[in-house]
Structures are given as structure tokens and as C-alpha cells.
Amino acid sequence: MNNSNYDYDLFVIGAGSGGVRASRIAASLGAKVAVAEDRYMGGTCVNVGCVPKKLYVYASQFSENYRDAVNFGWDKVTPGFDWNTLRDNKTKEIQRLNGIYENLLDGNDVDIVQGRGRITGPHQVDVNGKTYTAKHILIATGGWPYVPDFQGSEHVTTSNDVFDLEQFPQRVIVVGGGYIAVEFAGIFNGLGADTRLLYRGEQILRGFDQEVRDFAAHEIAAKGVDIRVKSNIERVEKLDDGSLRATLISGEQLDADLILYATGRVPNTQGLGLENVAVNTNDKGQILVDDHFQTDQPGIYALGDVTGGMELTPVALAEGMALAKHLCGNQPVNMDYDNIATAVFCQPNIATVGLTEEQARDRHDNVDVYRSAFRPLKNTISGSPERTLMKLLVDRDSDRVLGVHMVGPEAGEIIQGIAIAIKAGATKAIFDSTIGIHPTAAEEFVTMRTPVTAD
């Protein structure tokens, strides 16, 4: 397929989830493809995101498992935790995944170029002083942690570095209220650190269903995370012993061994040479694209976190596949962003698909809410006070299920299956006619018969 006027049919900047998927599919369709990567194969998700985060979540849950086991007849033990073992085993797994990603590209004859790609013209990319030409250029450079500018901000840590700390911190302050902040607060708390979560807003997890936010915040706090809302740091100073002292806007001072800022992510566009072409961004720095992922510069495309939208690995993967099939297989781009399931791997887990109650009431005249909050069977013996919340939102006029929400163990695993039903347009009658698996928590979703509120 290679157009002889160019070195490549497609040159991709960024070997993350979206970039690798687009490269691999385009090459499998006959295109000559190259990928430039200046950091690590697999991007944020594999290296400093979803994968290591989930591994650390698993590690942090064992402390609770040990406590739960006692009333089931297991001897009480006080296990020791070794940070170095977790960190180094995580690193080995990530290195294995890096190799898999590289092999995926090599196996499809995709050329890997080490270095930061800089666009120098509509069909030109410079990497380490060498110029490559391409019919199509794809920007898939993802996002980068954002830290606001304040006195002492150089002393704080971001999610890029937190997985590889030399020593485990005994006192941790996490700043932020989104899923990354909440997940790391749970990780450090579960691993034994004295953990505080500071958020400047009214309640953590903005954008989620309000009842889910309130329920999750209560359960997270009950596990030991000190949640401080309407709170923020004014300055940070490093003390003589190496620890950090945070002065809050209230004037209160808190000492910690680690201050983790998880206050959002920004598009990773620095040094890309966007000023050399007609690639435009919005006020958040996100690259503007049309429904076919094309920027304002014909022949240059962007997808994934660098464009904003739903910053989720599976979304970037789907976008990468759609673009490759469009450019190299003449297929229309048909992305559907409705009813994409998401999960927060805090403790307990949160998972959701579809509309929040607030969104449902805003868009539909008659909404029925079905809710079940209960203490799971395991906890009746373990002694854990943790409760589970399950919630269905139904359009009374059509009987269609508009949203499903859960706070509780394995919420992500449960909601993934339910997301298929929601995508298929399931009605409440279909949920009701489905026979549950007993005894499971998931069966609650097919046994809720009476709405708790109705407009």
C-alpha cells in the first residue's frame, strides 16, 4: 500500500494503547507503518497507569483479607509487608508487557523509532534529527500528570513516579478527588500507611452518581482513609529529616513522608511541533479533531487522551482500530461513546454504566430508582462493617434501564457483564425475568422489584 512519495503510509507518535493498536491494525491491512516512542512501550496504562495500579490494589487488599480470615477459623497473624518485593515484582511484570508490545509491532513489521517525534510539516516528522515522511501522521501521545504551581511544588510526587519509590512512606497525603487520587489513597491505606485524602471540592469523585459518591466516601473513610473535603495545600516545605510539611489554606499543618498530587492530567503535547502545522487545541490543550479523528491539518490525526473525552484505555484501543480501518480499509468511523462502563478500583470498588441519577432525571420525565444496600454474606461472619450499594435507573415510559451503579467487591467484574445488557437496550422486565445466581451479590440486580423513589 506504501505510497512511493513517502517513507511511510502512517507515522504514529506515541506507542501507548491507541497508537500501538492503530499501528498494528494499519500494518495488518498492508500499510507501511512506523511508531516513535520516547519513554516506554505500552504508554501510561501499561507502565504508570491501569496495570501497575491494579497490581498495587491487589497487594493492598491482603491486609483486610488477613483480618477477615480470623472469624472463618484461620489463626490471627500480623503479617509484615515488604515494599521492595512488591515494587520489584511489579517492575518485572511491566518489563514483560513492554516486550509483548514490542513483539506485537515487530510481528506486524512496524518500524519502532526511539525518540520524541516532532512534526515539522504536514507530512514530516523529525526524530533525533532524522526526518521521516508519511502520508498520514497520528498523534497518540496521551496525557501527563498536572501539578499546580505553588510554593514547594517541586517536593511533591505524581502518579508517574509513585510506583517506584525507594522506600515505603509511613505517612501519606494524597491531593485530588478523582479516581486516581481515590485509588492511591486506598492503596497506601491498605498497605499500612497513615493516609489523608485532601480535595478542594464538596465531595470526592465528581461526575459520578451523587449517591454513589456519598456511599463510597463513607465506606472509604470507614476503612481508615482520612478524607478532608473543601481542603487544599497552600505550600510545602522539606524538613531537615527529609519529611514534608504541608500548610493548608486553613492554616493547619500536616507532616508526611510523601505528598502525592493526583489533580488531573493534561494532554502530552510539549515538543510535538504543533505550531508548524494547522493542528489546533482548545483552552485545555486538548487537540481538536473531527468525527474521523482528523485535526484541522489534513493528513494529521489524533486520538486517545491527548484529545480529551473519555480517558480510558479501551476507548483509545477502539479509536485506534477505527482510525486504522478508516485510513487503510476505507471503512467509516463509527465510534459509539454511549454506555461505556467504567470502574474505580478504590476499596470498595465502584463500577458504573449508563446515566447517573442526576443525568437520568435531567433527560427523562419519569425515572424510577431501584436501590439495594446491604451487608454482603461474607461480612456476616468476617465482622467487616463494609456495605454494598447497587442501583438501577429506569425510564418508566419505555422500561429501558438507563444506568446501573455498584459500590462493593468486584464491582468492575459484575458491571462488565451488565454493560452488555445495557448496550443491547435491556428493559427492567428483562432484568426481572433473568434468574439470579445464588448466593451472589450480583443477583441483587435481577431481584429488585420495587422502586424506592418515583417522579
Find out whether 127 and 120 touch, Cβ atoms under 8 Å: no
Alpha carbon distance 387, 408 (integer Å): 7
Alpha carbon distance 50, 54 (integer Å): 6
- Give the three cell numbers for residue 107: 510481528
Pick from 361, 290, 362: nearest CA to 326: 290
Strand partners, 336: none
Note if 438 is an active site residue.
yes
Concatenated DSSP letters of 155-206: G-B-TTTGGG-SS--SEEEEE--SHHHHHHHHHHHHTT-EEEEEESSSSSST
Find out whether 215 and 407 touch, Cβ atoms under 8 Å: yes
- Give the three cell numbers for residue 249: 489554606
Alpha carbon distance 126, 137 (integer Å): 12
Amino acid type, 450: T
Alpha carbon distance 67, 347 (integer Å): 15
The one catalytic residue in 218, 326, 405, 438 is 438
Pick from 191, 227, 209, 175: nearest CA to 407: 209
Residue 26's CB is within 10 A of a number of other CB atoms, namely 30
Active site residues: 438
